[in-house]
Chain A
Amino acid sequence: MTERRIRIDVPALTRVEGEGSLRLEVVNGQLVELGLSIFEPPRYFEKFLEGRDAHEVVDIVARICGICPIAYQVSALNALESLATEPPPHWVPKLRRLFYCGEWLQSHALHIHLLALPDFLGFDSAITMAEQHPETVRRGMQLQALGNELIRLLGGRSVHPVGARIGGFHRAPEPEQIEPLLDRLREARPLARDLTAFCAGLELPDDPQDFISIALTHPDRYAIECGQLITSTGLSLSAEQFEQHFHEHHKPDSTALWSDLNGEPYLTGPLARLNLNHQQLPPVIQQSLTATGLQPPSNNMFHSLIARALEIELVMHEAIEILQGYDYPAAPCPQPELSAGICFGMSEAPRGLLWHRYEVGPDQRIKAARIVPPTSQNQARIEADLQRSLIAFGLNQDEEALRLRAEQVIRNYDPCISCATHFLKLELSRS
């Protein structure tokens, strides 16, 4: 019998952040090897933090990621401020949510328009897509720019912002900064509504699969900057309880740690959030959700695209609400002292749950730090999804089609390998 062997090697996956590879081997129509490797060098941020003053953490962790620095800052602040002698002033939590809305807006807008849409519209890049869909790309750039404006408002700059600190912000926005930004947000809202309808109108692959969703939840609102961790399996956990159920382990071909929930892969990110928190969406966003025809919980991973679009609508709505109610604070934020101890914090980065743990000494210096980013948590889910999706797609498909589908599946998670390395190239063998 003649053996038919195909080996696909994607040595550097494009339109994702960071460096990883995919190896795929098919022998006589059977998938015999599927390996997602992350070879970007580890970044050792947890080690860098040791010995630093706790008040420096917020600026150091912002450097972990150029696209979701606020997530790192807010998770760290949620942890460290739990050791503070006094809570931040009442206006701070609202502005932290506004700050975070900017990050979701710019990150989701870029992912949808520049990274994901070329897959679904049949182009190899946003540049070739822009020739036939210029208005689509312009919409993405406009929404992304608005997200950056929100970040600048509170962070001073859009990349690695420096505005947040333990106890609040270094400065509050000036009242005259608010109205022009509100006008731009109001003007762009129809773009966001159009985007949701546009994404829902795409011919997305219909590939139902079982997976566990995890997300923060909040009794009063769609969780972004804080909340209690819940799972589709019925767990409800505080940040302190995370390590009792979530475990990280090394894999030989990955510089990122792999995570499991009591031994099982799980999903974190926009679709998991929508699945668990859709009832928390404001009525106007509920209307958009209803119009898409998507009925959460969804078991189609490709619905992540629609979830991101809905979350763009959500954060624009939230940003408008917060800015409309903004009053310039009467006094600056006090800088609280921190007591020694172990503290935990978490928030919903654009790509999913971001969990931090710090041990702070009596001298307010960091004795130990642990950071669990969303992409490393999603690695096992991505590999399970690839296994399931490629078999469903048909292993007899030609190499180019298999490679493209594999890349679509991976990009759908919007992986940030650099954040995880603590990611892609495809090698397919088949016989």
Chain B
Amino acid sequence: MSGWRVIGIGSPFGDDRVGWAVIEQLEQHSLPADIELVTLDRPGPDLINWLERDVRTVLIDAVQTTAFPPGHWMPLEIDQLDSSEDLSSHGFGLAPTLKLAQTLGGLPHRLKLIGICIAPGSSQPEHSTLSASVMTGARQLATWLAGQFATASDPFYTATGNGGVGSIGSSSRSDCSRR
């Protein structure tokens, strides 16, 4: 089964880059033609523009937590995201973005959120590369996603792991591109 939009959210800073890294890893796999890969620099209005009711979507972002080791990835539900973030013209976190999209009826019917754990403090501007453990997690997630997309059945019928911790979000300041 195919026909998914995969969106990786990230920034140039250290392990926060992992959303982009998963997309880059996916580009190395032979994917069905109707898998669309997208990188975004931040949640917010631009993300809403990439969410469509009839386009099945996988959304990948870093999760800051100490409850799981860096690189561990897991499916999340919208109500597990940190909703304490505020809306401003500049700051527009993932949880309010998805809630706004949901209120507007624009949330994809099939939306899979996947968080990859990173350690607090590992996404500072001075960190130019991903840590080895987070890069390993990115590769494993990309391989698992590619395998799911290659199967004939619903790729996400059997979910792995169990989320519910930490805060998900990206702090970058660049932009989006379609791959």
Residues of A bordering B, CB below 8 Å: 14-18, 63, 65-67, 107, 110-111, 114-115, 125-127, 130-131, 134, 137-138, 141, 144-145, 148, 152, 156-160, 414, 416, 418
Contact = CB atoms under 8 A, between A and B. Distances in A.
B89 A114 contact: yes
Interface in B10-27: none
A17 B104 contact: no
Contacts of A107: 89
B87 A126 contact: yes
B174 A16 contact: no
Contacts of A145: 45-46, 49
Given A127-B99, A157-B174, A134 B86 contact: no
Contacts, number: 77
Output the residue of B86, B90, B174 with the most chain A CB within 10 A. B90
A15 B87 contact: yes
Contacts of B86: 14-15
Nearest to B96: A127
6 residue pairs, one from A and one from B, having the closest CB atoms: A157-B175, A130-B103, A17-B90, A110-B89, A17-B88, A66-B90
Interface residues of B, number: 23
A111 B89 contact: yes
Interface in B28-83: 41-42, 45-46, 48-49
Contacts of B90: 17-18, 65-67, 416, 418
Contacts of B46: 145, 148, 158
Contacts of A111: 89
A134 B104 contact: yes
B105 interface: yes
A145 B44 CA distance: 11
Given A144-B45, A157-B174, A137 B88 contact: no
Interface in B80-134: 86-91, 96, 99-100, 103-105
Given A65-B90, A115-B89, A156-B175, 5 more contacts: A15-B86, A115-B87, A134-B104, A134-B105, A416-B90
A16 B88 contact: yes
Q: Which DSSP category, helix, strand, loop or mixed, fits chain B's interface?
A: loop
A115 B174 contact: no
Given A15-B88, A17-B91, A125-B87, A159 B41 contact: yes
Contacts of A414: 89
Nearest to B90: A17
A127 B175 contact: no
A16 B86 CA distance: 9
Interface of B: 41-42, 45-46, 48-49, 86-91, 96, 99-100, 103-105, 173-177
B87 to A, nearest CB: 6
A125 B87 CA distance: 8
A110 B103 contact: no
22 contacts: A14-B86, A17-B89, A18-B90, A66-B173, A110-B45, A115-B89, A126-B100, A127-B87, A127-B96, A130-B100, A131-B103, A137-B100, A138-B104, A141-B45, A145-B46, A145-B49, A152-B175, A156-B175, A157-B177, A158-B46, A159-B42, A416-B90
A160 B90 CA distance: 12
A380 B97 CA distance: 34
B49 A141 contact: yes
B105 A141 contact: no
A67 B89 contact: yes
Nearest to A147: B45
Contact of B87 (A114, A134, A138, A160): A114
B133 to A, nearest CB: 29
A134 B103 contact: yes
Contacts of B105: 134
Contacts of A159: 41-42, 173-175
B100 A160 contact: no
A311 B154 CA distance: 48
B104 A137 contact: yes
Output the residue of A67, A152, A158 with the most chain B CB within 10 A. A158
Nearest to A65: B90
A188 to B, nearest CB: 14
A90 to B, nearest CB: 29
A111 B92 CA distance: 13
A121 to B, nearest CB: 14
Contacts of A17: 88-91
Nearest to B99: A127
B84 to A, nearest CB: 11
A15 B103 CA distance: 19
Contacts of A137: 100, 103-104
A127 B90 CA distance: 16
Nearest to B41: A159
A148 B49 CA distance: 11
A66 B91 CA distance: 9
Contact of A141 (B48, B96, B99, B173): B48
A86 B174 CA distance: 32
Contacts of B89: 17, 67, 107, 110-111, 114-115, 414, 416
B76 to A, nearest CB: 19
B100 A127 contact: yes
A136 to B, nearest CB: 10
